[in-house]
Every structure is written in C-alpha cells, then in structure tokens.
A and B are shown apart, each in its own frame.
Chain A
Amino acid sequence: MKTSIKLAWRNLWRNRRRTIIAISSIVFSVLLASWMRSMQEGSYASMIDNVVKFYSGYLQVQDTAYWEERTLENTIEVTPNLKNQIERIEDVTLVSNRLESFALAANHQHSKPAMVLGIEPEAEDRITAISKKIKDGAFLQTGDKGVVLGKGLADFLSLGVGDTLVMIGQGYHGISANGLFTIKGILDHPNPEFNKRLVFMEIENAREFYSTYGLSSSLVIMTDDHYEVGHLKKNIGAILPSDKTVMTWQDMQPEVVQMIKSDRAGGIVMLAILYMVIAFGMFSVVMMMVKERQREFGVIHAVGMKKQKLSVIVFWETVFIGIAGCIIGLIISYAFCIWFYYHPLPLTGETAEAYIQYGMEPYMFFSLKPSLFYNQMILVFFISVFISLFPVFNIHRLKITKALRA
C-alpha cells in the first residue's frame, strides 16, 4: 500500500500544471457550491428570524384547540411551575406569555379592527427587539396601563403619543370588553400587515381588558438555533398535560417552510448542474491521464504488477486530486463565507423594497452552518471516487501488447 501511495503521489506531480488545474477546478467548484448554499441558508435563517421571530417565536405552548380556533375560550393557564420546568430544558433561552385577540380600535370618529397582543414587555423585547422599532414615545414596561400602536393604525386613526385609544371587543366567555388606553408609543413594525393592525399591551393589562385573569393564549419559547427545534418539541411535549400542546414555528408557519423548501429545491438543481460540470472536468483530466500512460501501464503489468494493484495506484491518484481540491476548497470557502457572514451583501432597488415590504432586512445574509461546507466537500470527494472507476475499468481491460504499442 505504501508503494502504491508513493507512486500515486509522485505520478500526480509528473504533470504539475495539469494537476494544479484539476485541483483548482475542484477548489472553485467547492467554493461556488458552498457560497451558493451559504447564501441560500443565510437568507432562510434571516427570513425565519424576521418573519417567524417577530410573531410566533420558535415554539409555542397552547391549548390543544387554540391554533385552529384562535379564541379566548381556548386560552391556557401557565403555572409558574410549568414555566420554570420549560425554562430549565436545555437549549431553551427564553419563555414568555402572550395573550392574543382582536378588538375594534377607535378614535372619536373612526374605528378599525385591530390585533391586540398582550405581552411581557421585557421578555418580548428580548425575543423581537421590538422596542428598536419605536418611532415615537416609548415601549411598554411591566405594569404599564398604556398601549403601543403600529404606525399604520395610528396614522389611520390620526392618533399620537399621549392621545386616548378607544378599544371595544368581546372578552372571555362573551363578556363585553371596553376600555380607554393612553398611547405610550408608536412603532414602525417591519411587517406591513402588523403595522396596520397591531396594538401592544402589557399582558396583565390585556388580561384585565379581556377578563382572562391568569390566562394566556400561548407561551412563546425561544432557542438559539431554528434548525434544532425538533428535540425541544419532544422534551417540552413530554412535560405538558394532555390539554396543552407544543407547536414549532414550522407547524405554525407552513407557508414559510414550503417557500424555503421550493427555493432550496431550485438551488439543488443548480448545484446538480454545477456538480455535473465538475464531474466532466475531472473526468476529462483523468481520461487524458489514463490515455497518455497506456504504455507505462503495459510495462508495469508486464514486469509483474497485477492489474488490481495498478488500479489501486491510479485510484489513489484521482482520490488525491479530489482530497486536495476538497480540503483547499473547504478552507477557502469557509474563509470567504466568514467575510460575507460579517459583511452581508446589501440589496438595492426594487428587491430591497420587496424585502422591506415583507418585513425583512434588505441584505443577502450568509450562513456558516458547518454541514453546508462539509457536505459539498463530501459530495465532490465521492464524485472523484466515482470518476476514478474509469481508470480502474480501463486497466481491467488492458492488453499488454496493445498498450506497449501506444
């Protein structure tokens, strides 16, 4: 084996320029594939962060019937003990109660249906960093009796900070819910729909308004990695009583999941085309290498090396090219994507506006998820192994007398 590897290694460098070109083609392929995947996954992560995090959180504990009906009748009581138990689960970074319902928001002349979100202000701000979106006034604090409105809603009702908002709705078990609330702040929510409808209240204030004392629509749970919510769902589900359920952001936002899936599929088609180009490039190099060495193969076999051993040498040569290309490609790709991770590409023009409309930051983000890089490396390596079968077959069919005349 040692001799086979030594011979293979030396053979690689007998035509230095060709070997460098072959390795470079793999390096650039790994780089391009990794860069594409990093950009794709970075964009998905940003989309999930922006769209999912601003509303649903990564997981929610709810009443089993809440997600279908979304009424106050399906609210839950979250005991301090349950909240503590969930907070102690590994990878859970934050747990926060929410009370969500609808009401008619009005001034002295106009009204508009509004989405009321009762929140734990400090925890909610850690989840969504929503206080940074405040355009006028201030964000809520625990114990506040005022409200914060989306800018669209405030503009529609011609209300500003310090004005009074009239809220009329239906509370728990059909109780009438009416109230006057001072506007503490106005925020520009990145999601235009939310901007036109959203009213934030401190959760105890909202409970009082809807008469849902001690109840929550959901318990929002945060974690650091949106790819890793499956095990949390399992662990949280295990401690919940039978009338409560836990949903992941994928369960709650299937359209986002679907969009990512179809976009990812498009990316994979592009990658498949790229890999075919890589494969043909490598194949042409290996084919040339094999064809120009027919006589040498003939001599080596003539003096006593079995075809099997000769195949191993040529196999190693191809694999060396694959390994070298993959390792160098991996290092360069990772360094390249680190730079883009910290310096995302800014989008301009209509694309940027479309991103803003959907509540996303107008940047092309990059991901540094390790599997994005080593998957490309492994795939290119297997392509090189597959291509190395060509010289193996060629040697298997070798006729010494014909090879010696080559």
Chain B
Amino acid sequence: MKIIEIKNLYKTYEDNSVPVHAVNGVDLSIEEGEFTAIVGPSGSGKTTLLNIVGGLDNATEGSVFIDGVDISKLSSRKMTDFRMHKIGFVFQAYNLIPVLTAKENVEFVMHLQGEKKAKRDARASELLKAVGLGTMMDRRPSKLSGGQQQRVAVARALASKPKFVLADEPTANLDSKSTENLLDIMEQLNKEEKITFIFSTHDQRVVNKARRVVMLEDGKIKSDLNKNQG
C-alpha cells in the first residue's frame, strides 16, 4: 500500500535572480513498511525533497500525496496537525527540547495530540525501553551522549504513531558504535512494527542497511534500487 506518492515535483529557488532547481521533476512512491535511503551528493536535493514530503516546505510545482491526502492543498494550521499525526521526524542535530527530560521529550507530541497522562506515560516508557534508554528516562538532553539523544529523537518520532518517519542525516553526528546501535534499533522497529523509515544520508552504513536506495543528482532521481527485488 502506497503511503507516499510524489508526482512531477519541482522546487525552484532564486539565487541572485538565477533559478536553481533543487528538486527537478521527481516522481516517487513509497510503500508502507519500506526502509528507504535517499542518497546523493551535497546539493542534490535530498533535504529539500524530505522537507517537502514532511510538509516543512512547499513545492513550486507538482503534488505530494500522503495517505491519499494532497498535502500541498492543506492550510498551514491543517499541515501542522497533519505532521503531528502522520509524520515522525528525526533531525541531524537531534533537536530535543533541552528543558525537558528524555521521557518528557517523547511525551511532548502525544501531549499535543491530547493523549491522557497515563497513556502518554506508558507509551513513552515503552518507546524509551525499546531504544535502550529505559534507565535514563529522567535525564535531560544535556546529560545524554549524542547517540543517546538521537535514540530519544527516534522514540519521539514514533510516539505519535506516525505513518512514516523522515530522518534527515540521522547518523551524521554520531560515532560508529552509536550509528550501528541506532540503525539496529530502527531496523528492528521497521521489521517488527512495520514502521516506514525514509532517510536522507551520505552514510554508507545507512545505505547498507536500507532495503531501497534512491539516488538523487541535481534534483532528479538518478537511480532507484530496491534490494528486495534485486
């Protein structure tokens, strides 16, 4: 079942009155349960594509359907709600809320969704245990290592039970051990709980784990390799 369908997508910036096509006519579909890496050199349009799919940026042309909804038609307020319920985000720089504990960070989105305290509490604990941080729930981000913070970010991304998780260079700031650990956790969540992950990455270790690798160059899809299909 398709959860993301991108049709004829363009994103054009003006740089000193010169148009720059960050995304240049992309057509792409993502099925539920995929573990997909979008790769490409710097400036190839990976982050821009992920931002548009995540509803963080608007396309210049084309459409993005998520779960059957054309998100380019949504108002800013509705898009915010849509992101909250359907999309989980993992950022390169972790971007946890520094004044909240690990558990409170995970509960944050559920709180915005209006979940009851008992339910929030139980799910946050469950997710933090799942990412191996069951004993560090009450620590604030400043008391966690980079790898641990990124695992909290993964738990936060999953807290709202999203349709898919967008991870923009999630391992860029992590050492090898933390990267390995994080990827194992995400792969496990993907396999066991059928959570769809889409990464933009330069990291070969992520590419190795991904079951589908989409390569972008100059804003266009250069190759689309599905390892399951060979």
Contacts and interface: CB of A to CB of B under 8 A. Distances in A.
B81 interface: yes
B99 A14 contact: yes
B84 A303 contact: yes
B77 interface: yes
Interface stretch (A26-34, A45-53, A292-300, A341-349): A292-300
B56 A303 contact: no
A304 B100 contact: no
A304 B91 contact: no
A304 B81 CA distance: 6
Interface in B11-61: 51, 54, 56-57
Contact of B113 (A13, A296, A304): A304
Contacts of B89: 299, 302-303
Interface string B57-92: 100000000000000000011001101110001010
A304 B57 contact: no
Nearest to A14: B99
Interface residues of B, number: 26
Contact of B56 (A14, A309, A400): A400
Interface residues of A, number: 21
A129 interface: no
A3 B111 CA distance: 9
Contact of B109 (A304, A400, A404): A304
B172 interface: no
Given A7-B100, A304-B113, A401 B160 contact: no
A201 B100 CA distance: 81
B97 interface: yes
Nearest to A304: B84
A10 B100 contact: yes
A306 interface: yes
User: For A296, A299, A302, A303, which residue has the most chain B Cβ atoms within 10 angstroms?
Assistant: A303
Contacts of B225: none
B56 A401 contact: yes
Contacts of B156: 303
B108 interface: yes
User: For B95, B100, B109, B113, which residue has the most chain A Cβ atoms within 10 angstroms?
Assistant: B95
A304 B98 CA distance: 17
Contacts of A13: 99
A306 B100 CA distance: 18
B14 to A, nearest CB: 15
Contacts of B77: 306
A302 B111 contact: no
A400 B54 CA distance: 11
Contact of A14 (B51, B54, B98, B109): B98
B108 A303 contact: yes
30 contacts: A3-B111, A7-B97, A7-B100, A10-B99, A11-B99, A13-B99, A14-B98, A14-B99, A295-B93, A295-B95, A296-B95, A299-B89, A299-B91, A299-B95, A299-B97, A300-B97, A302-B83, A302-B89, A303-B83, A303-B89, A303-B156, A304-B81, A305-B80, A306-B77, A306-B80, A307-B76, A400-B51, A401-B51, A404-B56, A404-B91
| For the complex of A and B, 9 pairs with smallest distance between CB atoms | A304-B84, A10-B99, A299-B95, A400-B56, A401-B57, A304-B112, A306-B80, A303-B109, A401-B51
Given A303-B84, A401-B56, 16 more contacts: A7-B99, A10-B99, A11-B99, A295-B95, A296-B98, A302-B56, A303-B108, A304-B80, A304-B81, A305-B84, A307-B80, A400-B51, A400-B57, A404-B56, A404-B91, A404-B95
Interface of B: 51, 54, 56-57, 76-77, 80-81, 83-85, 89, 91, 93, 95, 97-100, 108-109, 111-113, 156, 160
